[in-house]
Structure 1
Amino acid sequence: ALVNVASEQTRQYYFVNTPLNWTEAQSFCRQVYTDLATIETISDVSTVLRTTPSYRGKAWIGLYNKDWRWSLSDNSFYGEADTGFRNWAAGHPVNGQECVGIGINVWYNINCNNIQPFVCYNGSVNDTSSFVKIDKLLNWIEAQSYCRENYVDLASIRNQAENDIISKLVDVYLLWIGLHWERLWSDGSTSLFQNWAYGQTDSTEQCVTTAFNNSGLWSDDNCSLTFPFICYSTIPPNAESFRSIAQDETSITLQWNKVNNNISFILQFNDAEINITAPDGDGPVTYTVSSLTAATEYTFTLYSVFENIRSSGVSITAFT
């Protein structure tokens, strides 16, 4: 497989030029790297685009469709059957509309950017859920943030009794509730960052590609199609408090704090690289560089290394 690499602060991305279906690509990434690519910022998008100079097509990333999920993810809140209660209106859910509002008794899935009032969950009193109707007109994400900041979360409806209570709050508008179609990343991350190509989220396809000929924008594709793909591995954090603690005419003593016991280090200066294994224990790592020239300025760069992957590196200058 042809593999190209580009780095971001916490993830190093790899373009693998072997067409596989989404599940095969996921297996490959998990065996060789960490997982299929998780992309959480526009800077991640740019980094992914830098992984290949020549490929112009689509490549799998780790995003895939999961299912209808409640915004409140507290497992103790739901009994066995509670997360599965649904009360769809006839003809719903329809494809591509990812957020849910309740009307008189029944639920509709609609565009998450619609603005509507909503119902927050405010914990339970004597085992009865307390719900608060908010008359602000917000889109689903804004309503979720509002409920999380001021109450507990958007309302979950676990059974017909709760459905009846909330339904009584409906007047002119539908009310947002916490049910939404949630996509997950292969590594389990949930992220609100989206980079969809125009019109792309209304597809029924379950797996997602990024398009190298279209600024890295995403689209849904059939999971059984074969494309090259993007993997990532986690970049180890840099060592902390990298400093020079002593020097004489021909040596400089460096010290830094370890990140954890699984990480080793590479010290780079004057085109040389020195591999350093961290000593056991919690104390700082001390290393003396000798045979140096007197009265000379040296620049040292220190990388943390885990499973052959380097951190972004920290540099200091010191004098003999």
Structure 2
Amino acid sequence: MDYWLIIFVLTGALVYVVSAQTRLYTFVSTPLNWREAQSVCRQNYTDLATAESTADISAIIGTTSTYTDEAWIGLHDDLVNSWRWSLSDNSFYAEGETEFRNWNVSEPNNLGGSELCVEIRAGSTYFGVWNDENCSSQRQSVCYNGTLNDTASFVKVDTLSNWTEAQRFCRENYVDLASVRNQQENDIINFLSDGFFWIGLHREKQWSDGSTSLFRIWKIGQPSFIGEGCVSTAFNDSGRWSEQDCSLSLPFICYTTNTPPNTDTFKSIGQNETSITLQWNQVNTNVSFVLKFNGTERNISEPVNGPVIYTVSSLTAGTKYTFTLFSVFESVRSSGVNTAAVTAPPNTDSFQSIGQNETSITLQWNQVNTNVSFVLKFNGTERNISEPVNGPVIYTVSSLTAGTKYTFSLFSVFESVRSSGVNTAAVTVFFRNEM
């Protein structure tokens, strides 16, 4: 199993991404309730995490090395919408028939957190009302045996069994456990005999993304929540699951099935005349990057710790470059992020004094190019100077003090980036006494 990790910041939350197979899992550290977490995942990723195997669990708990408690995943319990009929053939049900219910008062109540299967209480005492019940309870059952004269045919099975055993028996000997699509069919079953009978309705926890994965990795004694529960994974218990009150605030795991996410904070952090240093956030050693500029590409692996810092050398001074960075997982590239940076311009040459009097010094230096301006620094002040189109630059510094030595530093400037600077010293003339 190959994994990859990307760390970045989303609205102040520390976020880690790990891939398992086709899903890229993301740990978001901001505590939210389950519905809020679902909304964030759907807005920024694909959905809350779905797991289909122990490999997925390994990837999920590998998203952070610092958090050791519970975090939401996408599995949840909805007392209204998570009911399913054992007979899943859509052509068997007319519009609205999968939603027919005949619950007893105060049912379903999921007493003990494990009442996931449904019994019909038939006969003159209960009149065919329904009750949710622990699937391991021993009950008689009702099987569906097709239709006769366009009317559903049901068979009562007197043998006591749990719900799963009843389902297996009905599928092997008839069609399936009974689906009850309307009040007429409910009445037919009610008149079969007095007693408590399994029917085909059962409650399955649902994945937020609608996945049909039946993979489960519960802690001992779980699930145990009474009511509508949502599922968390424990980073300190090999990723095993617990059922929690959905209103609790916990960190959460999102996933995406898209191409690898782009890294963030891709920027230039320094330059000189021949190189530009770039930085972006850390990923693990199983993720590589491709840096593209000037029609060339460079493959880059990130370090084990800290952000990725990479220096692009052998560049041309005073030149603007656009860099595109792709994160790469198993030869699949992200959409890419861009940043622009410039190399420092070269220093001018022949920076010198060519004349002075008591209150001024005249300086001269050669042009660099028409895109470069200059900053002249002396006596703690700076002056911005644009060079002429032709010929050397000649600049007179006035209002100086007679008989004083001055040191001048000259920086060439390209798009706000300065060269390293060159220096020259010169003195003004002493005042001469007139006779």
TM-score range with shorter-chain normalisation? 0.5 to 0.7
Compared with structure 1, are the counterparts of its residues 205 and 87 closer, same or farther at alpha carbon in structure 2 (3 Å cutoff)? closer
Match status 1:153 vs 2:176: yes
Match status 1:6 vs 2:18: yes
For the residue of structure 2 that corresponds to 1:2, the secondary structure is: strand
Residue deviations 1:282-318 (CA, integer Å, cap 9, x gap): xxxxxxxxxxxxxxxxxxxx93527569xxxxxxxxx
Q: Could you tell me how far apart the structure 2 residues matched to 1:124 and 1:306 are?
A: 55
Q: Could you tell me how far apart the structure 2 residues matched to 1:145 and 1:9 are?
A: 33
Q: Could you tell me how far apart the structure 2 residues matched to 1:57 and 1:13 are?
A: 17
What percentage of residue pairs aligned between the two structures are identical?
Answer: 58
Residue 101 of structure 1 aligns with an amino acid whose one-letter code is: E
Residue 330 of structure 2 aligns with an amino acid whose one-letter code is: Y
2:67 match: 55
Equivalent pair of 2:34/2:248 in contact (CA under 8 Å): yes
Listed as ranges, the matches of 1:242-253 within 5 Å are none
1:26 match: 38
Match status 1:210 vs 2:222: no
Residue 230 of structure 1 aligns with an amino acid whose one-letter code is: I
What's the offset of the Cα at 1:135?
A: 5.2
Q: Could you tell me how far apart the structure 1 residues matched to 2:87 and 2:144 are?
A: 9
Spell out structure 1 runs of 4+ moving beyond 6 A.
none
Q: Could you tell me how far apart the structure 2 residues matched to 1:113 and 1:306 are?
A: 49
CA RMSD of aligned residues (A): 3.4
Equivalent pair of 2:26/2:254 in contact (CA under 8 Å): yes
1:222 match: 245
Residue 55 of structure 1 aligns with an amino acid whose one-letter code is: Y
Selected match of 1:15 from 11, 21, 27: 27
What's the offset of the Cα at 1:59?
A: 0.8
What's the offset of the Cα at 1:35?
A: 1.2
Q: Could you tell me how far apart the structure 1 residues matched to 2:17 and 2:331 are?
A: 18
Residue 53 of structure 1 aligns with an amino acid whose one-letter code is: S
Q: Could you tell me how far apart the structure 2 residues matched to 1:2 and 1:139 are?
A: 46
Residue 194 of structure 1 aligns with an amino acid whose one-letter code is: R
Q: Could you tell me how far apart the structure 1 residues matched to 2:243 and 2:208 are?
A: 15
Relative to the length of structure 1, the TM-score reads 0.65
What's the offset of the Cα at 1:37?
A: 0.4
- If asked which structure has higher relative contact order (CA below 8 Å, sep 6+), I would say 1
Selected match of 1:94 from 97, 109, 118: 109
Task: List gaps (5 residues or longer) in structure 1.
Answer: 237-265, 275-301, 310-320
Task: List gaps (5 residues or longer) in structure 2.
Answer: 1-12, 123-127, 260-288, 291-297, 301-328, 337-435
Residue 2 of structure 1 aligns with an amino acid whose one-letter code is: L
Selected match of 1:43 from 37, 45, 55: 55
Task: Number of aligned residue pairs: give it.
Answer: 249
Residue deviations 1:45-78 (CA, integer Å, cap 9, x gap): 2321222111012111111222333333444433
For the residue of structure 2 that corresponds to 1:48, the secondary structure is: helix
Relative to the length of structure 2, the TM-score reads 0.50
For the residue of structure 1 that corresponds to 2:77, the secondary structure is: strand
Residue deviations 1:179-208 (CA, integer Å, cap 9, x gap): 122321011013333333324334214422
Equivalent pair of 1:205/1:220 in contact (CA under 8 Å): no
Greater C-alpha Rg? 2
Listed as ranges, the matches of 1:1-320 within 5 Å are 1-66=13-78, 67=80, 68-95=83-110, 96=113, 97-104=115-122, 105-134=128-157, 137-148=160-171, 151-170=174-193, 174-197=196-219, 198-234=221-257, 273=299, 303-305=330-332, 307=334
